[in-house]
Structure 1
Amino acid sequence: MKPAKRIEKLPPYLFAEIDKKVAEAEKNGVDVIRLGIGDPDMSTPEFIIDRMISEVKRPENHKYPSYVGLDEYREAVSKYYDKRFGVDIDKDKEVVSLIGSKEGIAHISQCFVDPGDINLVPDPGYPVYGIGTMFAGGESYKMPLKKENDFLPDLSKIPEDVAKKAKIMFLNYPNNPTAAIATEEFFKDVVEFCKKYNILVCHDSAYTEIGFDGYKAPSFLETEGAKDIGIEFGSLSKAFNMTGWRIGYAVGNEFALEALGRFKTNVDSGVFQAVQLAAVEGLLNGEDSVNELNKIYEKRRDKIVETLKKVGINVEAPKASFYVWAPVPEGYTASEFTTRVLEETGVVVTPGVGFGEYGEGFFRISLTVDENRLEEAMERIGSQLSL
């Protein structure tokens, strides 16, 4: 048997390669501490679990769910956007439920991209933007995220001929992996640019609720005119420690969401109703829980930044997301440095180049490790890593 060319084009998944190195270290007796993958270590809040338990017991929730999402769930998304961002969302036309935001991000290119079309993809960035583009037969034009531009793409550097062929622009703020945040001015520039070239903006807002020092990230849809050319992908995974539950949504432009919803009716059967109803609790009643979560992450962030500076790495404390994006010391590639950290300290951090060529020169640390293990990891780095 021979796989399709699109499968042959798939690169090795970043964390699969890291897992191989970790397995080898553990085989040699190393107590490995993983600060690589962004998977929350804390439990889903009890009030969400309680709603889930009650809904699982209801037989009516065991049937096929609505393809676009339960009315109660879509209404909760609409109310959340109104309360949190002051954005009016029509629950009937401007919300589609997703089996986690990753699913929607991967599928949106199938709805708008034909073979040979171009998508504008941030680099470094979440690999799914480019993979979804490739599966649809499209080509990715990389938008470099550079420190000198505050890790925002420079729209003026996108060639005219590329912009005219582009179908989708993927954005993600607060950003993974750089932890950068977007300004109001930048979002305004995006709307102007994408209206000029008739490009659909797909904004991945997975980390919107994770903010520090009083910072609250905006929605792209707050920007005037954004809904005319854009949709936003949201997730409950990060804000409510629900990565395994697989529940998210897309909101915004009615035309784009109708296409996405139509695609989904042909490839999946929606989200388990009990999960949708449990998610309603988070969207409507989760503000206090999110605030407590952010206090924990902020404390962890401070510890990591303090330790990295102690060993001579000049890192800036992020305002959002649960990642620290730090420069690799001079004389190393990202892979060389992260391998050295693992070998000398038993701590796993992620090489920035795994997120794209412009991630070279950086590494990423996740805040999703409990305090005791994080303290141990920072102690090892502080005492065993000499630069």
Structure 2
Amino acid sequence: MSNAPEKAKSWRSRRLSELGSSIFAEVAAWKRAAAAGGVDMIDLGIGSPDQPPAEAVREALAAAALRKDTYAYPATKSGMPFKEAAAAWMKFRFGVEADPSDEIVTLLGSQDGLAHLAMAICDPGDAALLPDPGYPIYSASLALAGVEPILMPLRAENGYMPDLEAIDNETWRRAKFILVNYPNNPLSAVADLAFFEKLLAKAREHGVLVVHDLAYSEMGFDGSEPPSILQVQGAKGQAVEFHSMSKSFNMAGCRLGFLVGNSEAVGALRELKANIDYGAFDPVQEAAIVALNEAMSNPAYERAGELYERRRDAFVDALHAEGWKVDKPSATMFVWARLPDMTWDLGQPWTSRTISQEMLKTTGVVVVPGEAFGVEGQGYVRIALVESEERLLEAAARIGRFIRGEHVIK
């Protein structure tokens, strides 16, 4: 009898290799190396708000956390107060009526819902239409659910909108849902109601659910107020929409959001979620209610977009002065920048990845290569406006010296 040991089994599933972008792991490694070398980093990589929630929100969270009655499973309560506040906010902000009982489900952040929706509404072997570039959880959620992604290229010449007419009838027939995201991460493009009307008409023709990610609804610039797809008459028969407390209300660490719209799709996600978690911590929900009420009742309330618009203007103008002519975004907390014309030779082709890595190494400024969001992102980088204006101006100055080959960090 052989005493040779059995071949070790792998305790890592193959699907993990399909989740997210390996480039994010690379960027994290670049940052660790820079930090170990004592580099003064200006991290414009991850879109995490650098401001706290309003004081009243923090006070509500603290007070609720001190109460003895807030530590039961959230699922033992109805969760209705937050959903009622979310419904009131949908009415206030978009003029959209939503039944909090049947048309809203509370989530541990919108990413939680995006990660699980395909499991709730699709079967393995189904297909879904996704944007390219797109936020990585879109494709990762399909990998988890065994759903085939069909990518829609989003390009500058088409205003970063999907060409709906280029999608043939057979593809529409195969798709279970189509996912769009406006204002868009990473592209910062904004859609209007005319686009949503056209999209809904196409989807209705082929029986396809429309999923809209509206995480950046309160980050429109130049006086714009990004619309909800649910403002289109009859949209709830064909669409659902994700909302988040993270970016609009500076509550990213609290992990709270909601899905609103078509009752069947919302109910499917609610049913799946009931088997996965017990809901959001009640003090977080209470704090979120305060945040929503503040937005609805305080005439002096400053929407998140106002801060990022000021930062956009300062940073983009500074980049222009340094010789990098990037487009001014219309919304979000990101600049989607076509690669600059480099005046020095790296010894290998300049790509989104090589520029991002070399920029961090030589200047300490962190950006994300565009290809982290899909094939169509090659030739771009995403820059997050998540530092003070002073630090953003310093970042622009460092980037300018980088473009000219004047390395700031030796």
Identify which range, 374-383 or 109-118, moves more after superposition: 374-383
Question: How far does the alpha carbon of each residue in 1:23-50 deviate from its partner, in whole angstroms, 9 at most, with x for none?
Answer: 2223333212111110011112111111
Partner in structure 2 of residue 48 of structure 1:
57
Deviation at 1:12, TM superposition (A): 4.8
Partner in structure 1 of residue 379 of structure 2:
361
Distance (whole Å) between structure 1 residues aligned to residue 295 and residue 59 of structure 2: 13
**Matched residue SS, 1:280:** helix
Establish whether residue 177 from structure 1 lines up as the match of residue 186 from structure 2: yes
Establish whether residue 378 from structure 1 lines up as the match of residue 396 from structure 2: yes
**Matched residue SS, 1:267:** coil
**In the alignment, is the contact (CA less than 8 A) between 1:311 and 1:386 conserved in 2?**
no
Distance (whole Å) between structure 1 residues aligned to residue 76 and residue 293 of structure 2: 22
Question: How far does the alpha carbon of each residue in 1:208-265 deviate from its partner, in whole angstroms, 9 at most, with x for none?
Answer: 0012211111111111221111110100100111111000000000111111111111
**Matched residue SS, 1:203:** strand
Deviation at 1:293, TM superposition (A): 3.6
Establish whether residue 230 from structure 1 lines up as the match of residue 236 from structure 2: no
Amino acid at match of 1:85: F
Distance (whole Å) between structure 1 residues aligned to residue 258 and residue 136 of structure 2: 19
Partner in structure 2 of residue 313 of structure 1:
324
Partner in structure 1 of residue 277 of structure 2:
268
Question: How far does the alpha carbon of each residue in 1:283-303 deviate from its partner, in whole angstroms, 9 at most, with x for none?
Answer: 121366762543321121012
Select 2:367's aligned residue among 334, 341, 349. Answer: 349
Partner in structure 1 of residue 351 of structure 2:
333
Distance (whole Å) between structure 1 residues aligned to residue 166 and residue 319 of structure 2: 33
Distance (whole Å) between structure 1 residues aligned to residue 258 and residue 19 of structure 2: 26
Gaps (5+ residues) in structure 2? Answer: 1-8, 342-348, 406-410
Identify which range, 141-150 or 23-32, moves more after superposition: 23-32
**In the alignment, is the contact (CA less than 8 A) between 1:209 and 1:290 conserved in 2?**
no
Distance (whole Å) between structure 1 residues aligned to residue 402 and residue 114 of structure 2: 41
Correspondence list, 1:249-264, <5 A: 249-264=258-273
Correspondence list, 1:149-168, <5 A: 149-168=158-177
Change (3 A) 1:248 1:207: same
**In the alignment, is the contact (CA less than 8 A) between 1:68 and 1:96 conserved in 2?**
no
Identify which range, 338-347 or 288-297, moves more after superposition: 288-297
**Matched residue SS, 2:289:** helix
Establish whether residue 111 from structure 1 lines up as the match of residue 120 from structure 2: yes
Question: How far does the alpha carbon of each residue in 1:79-122 deviate from its partner, in whole angstroms, 9 at most, with x for none?
Answer: 00111000011111111000000011110100122122111010
Change (3 A) 1:14 1:286: farther
Change (3 A) 1:10 1:72: closer
Q: Which runs of 4+ in 1 moved over 6 A?
A: none
Deviation at 1:312, TM superposition (A): 2.9
Deviation at 1:361, TM superposition (A): 1.2
Distance (whole Å) between structure 2 residues aligned to residue 67 and residue 94 of structure 1: 20
Partner in structure 2 of residue 297 of structure 1:
308
Distance (whole Å) between structure 1 residues aligned to residue 376 and residue 335 of structure 2: 16
Establish whether residue 191 from structure 1 lines up as the match of residue 200 from structure 2: yes
Larger radius of gyration: 2
Partner in structure 2 of residue 9 of structure 1:
18
Distance (whole Å) between structure 1 residues aligned to residue 230 and residue 137 of structure 2: 22
Correspondence list, 1:25-36, <5 A: 25-36=34-45
Select 1:88's aligned residue among 85, 89, 97. Answer: 97
Amino acid at match of 1:309: H
Distance (whole Å) between structure 1 residues aligned to residue 121 and residue 309 of structure 2: 39
Change (3 A) 1:207 1:329: same
Change (3 A) 1:257 1:11: closer
Deviation at 1:276, TM superposition (A): 0.7
With structure 1 as the length reference, what TM-score do the two structures score?
A: 0.95
Distance (whole Å) between structure 2 residues aligned to residue 303 and residue 266 of structure 1: 47
Deviation at 1:344, TM superposition (A): 3.0
Partner in structure 1 of residue 3 of structure 2:
none
Q: Work out the number of aligned pairs and report it.
A: 387
Question: How far does the alpha carbon of each residue in 1:54-79 deviate from its partner, in whole angstroms, 9 at most, with x for none?
Answer: 21122222111138961111110110
Amino acid at match of 1:120: L
Amino acid at match of 1:133: L
**Matched residue SS, 1:103:** helix
Select 1:101's aligned residue among 110, 114, 117. Answer: 110
Deviation at 1:384, TM superposition (A): 4.1
With structure 2 as the length reference, what TM-score do the two structures score?
A: 0.90
Partner in structure 1 of residue 344 of structure 2:
none
Gaps (5+ residues) in structure 1? Answer: none
Distance (whole Å) between structure 2 residues aligned to residue 343 and residue 58 of structure 1: 48
**In the alignment, is the contact (CA less than 8 A) between 2:135 and 2:185 conserved in 1?**
yes
**In the alignment, is the contact (CA less than 8 A) between 2:294 and 2:301 conserved in 1?**
no
Distance (whole Å) between structure 1 residues aligned to residue 76 and residue 271 of structure 2: 9
Alignment root-mean-square deviation, CA: 1.8
**Matched residue SS, 1:66:** helix
**In the alignment, is the contact (CA less than 8 A) between 1:109 and 1:132 conserved in 2?**
yes
Distance (whole Å) between structure 2 residues aligned to residue 281 and residue 129 of structure 1: 30
Deviation at 1:313, TM superposition (A): 2.6
Q: Percent same amino acid at aligned positions?
A: 40
